[in-house]
Structures are given as structure tokens and as C-alpha cells.
Amino acid sequence: MEPTILHIETATDVCSVALTQGMEVLGVKESADGNSHSKNLLPFINRLLLEYDVKTTDLQCVAVSIGPGSYTGLRIGVSTAKGIAYSLGIPVITVSTLESIAQGAKHQTGNDHCDIVPMIDARRMEVFAARYDAAMNLVDDVASVIVEENTYAELLKEKEVIFCGNGMPKCKELLSQFPNARFADFTLSAQYMLPAALKKWEAKDFADTAYFEPFYLKEYVAGKPNVKGLH
């Protein structure tokens, strides 16, 4: 039986929800209006289920983008996924945000030979990045990377590489000097979680709903408050 899965993507400034059945994407609701996750997430879910006449009891799993990414966005997505899973008694599948970005690039470009380096914006010239081959096997694990002139020089001498994600634009000028550098510019979407989510569904690779946490990569550090009396 093909699973009906609700996918939640809130790791960046995009708030996105997708509803899938097997390999088919039934529908997507999303907004790239930054900081709208708490306002939009539950209405998007409700509208999607209503529009495609899917009852909550029809859901067999909820998949959530696990990071790295925005601390606040990840907390909202994960807490919502846990709440749905608990209330319906269904499992949770976690999907790397970087893998979703790489899947989006593969989908957009039809890539069948280039490595893919998804990037999430951190600060200054820092990105959270990984590397996948054309078959979506993880080659280089998730890491914090300072992008400088020669950061990917050796790799780009050997092969074509697609750079993508919201961290890519600030690195593009440096990377464009290499003939083998390719760029995929698209908006992250929950629908790109589907291949990884289905693979985990088939393997029954479910998260521990009570204990799993977002993958921040770096510890969250609260900014110094500016309100008088809180210094």
C-alpha cells in the first residue's frame, strides 16, 4: 500500500507543506515570506488536507525537515510534526534539509552526472554544506564551511558541481571563476523531501518521536536583549 505522507519544511525562510501518496505529489502549500512559519504552518496543513479530501486519519506518516537551518523555524516544524504524530499515533520521518535542497537541484536540472553541493546560509561567507553524487549518495557529510576563493578549487578541477540552496548566491561570484561550477536557483519546497522520506518509510527508519531534536549543527546563541532592564 502506498503511504500517504504529510511533509513539513520550515528550516529556512520558506514555510512549505506537501501532501504525497506513494511517488505522487498531491499538492503543496508554501510561502517564502520569512518569519511566517508560526502563522502559516497549521493553516497550510488544514487547507491541503481539505483541498485533496484527505482526513487526518488517512495519514500514515509525517515527515519533517530536520536541519541544519533556522533555530526558530526548525523548532516550529519539529514541534508541529511531533504533535501530529502523537495525536494520530503515526510515525515521524526526519529528512536532512540539505538532502532536500540537493533533490530540488536534481529535479530542476535533470542532473545525472554532476555532484551537488547544497548550501544553507549561515553568516558572512559561512554556509552549512554537504556533497552528494548524481545518484544522491552522500559523499561529504554536513559541515560548516567558510567559502573562500579556493575552498572548492580541487573538486572543481576534477568534475562539474552544482551549487544550490539559499547560501549559494553569496558564494556565486567566487565560484563562477571555475568552468565546472554550475548553479541551480530555486525555492526550497517540502515536495523535495519525498524521495528520502519514501526510502526511510520502506526501511521503517522512523525517528523516536519523544526524543528526536532538530539538527542545528551549531549551538543556538541568543542575542543580547536590547530592552531596557534586561541587560
pLDDT in tens, 142-162: 999 999 989 999 999 999 999
The whole-number pLDDT of residue 36 equals 84
**Is the pLDDT assigned to residue 224 strictly greater than 70?**
no
The predicted pLDDT at position 123 comes to: 83
Q: How confident is the model at residue 218 (pLDDT cuts 50, 70, 90)?
A: low
Strands 15-21 and 161-164: unpaired
Q: How far apart are CA 3 and CA 227, in angstroms?
A: 49
pTM, entire model: 0.91
Torsion of CA 191, 218, 118, 83, to 10 degrees: 0
Q: Using CB atoms within 10 Å of the CB of residue 177, give its burial: 0 to 12 exposed, 13 to 18 middle, 19+ buried.
A: exposed
| Alpha helix segments (H runs only) across the chain | 37-51, 71-88, 97-109, 153-158, 168-175, 194-202
Same fold, 4-96+188-202 and 97-184: yes
Topology of the domain covering 97-184: Nucleotidyltransferase; domain 5 (3.30.420)
CB 166 within 8 A of CB 119: yes
Lowest mean pLDDT among 27-36, 94-103, 207-216: 27-36
What nine digits make up the cell of 43?
493553516
Burial class (CB in 10 A: 0-12, 13-18, 19+), 23: exposed
Q: What is the DSSP string of 21-46?
A: ETTEEEEEEEE-SSS-HHHHHHHHHH
- pLDDT of residue 220 exceeding 60: no
What are the extents of the domains in the chain? Answer: 4-96+188-202, 97-184
Give the burial string for 128-151 (b: 16+ CB within 10 Å, else e). Answer: bbbbbeeeeeeeeebeebebeeeb
4-96+188-202: CATH number = 3.30.420.40
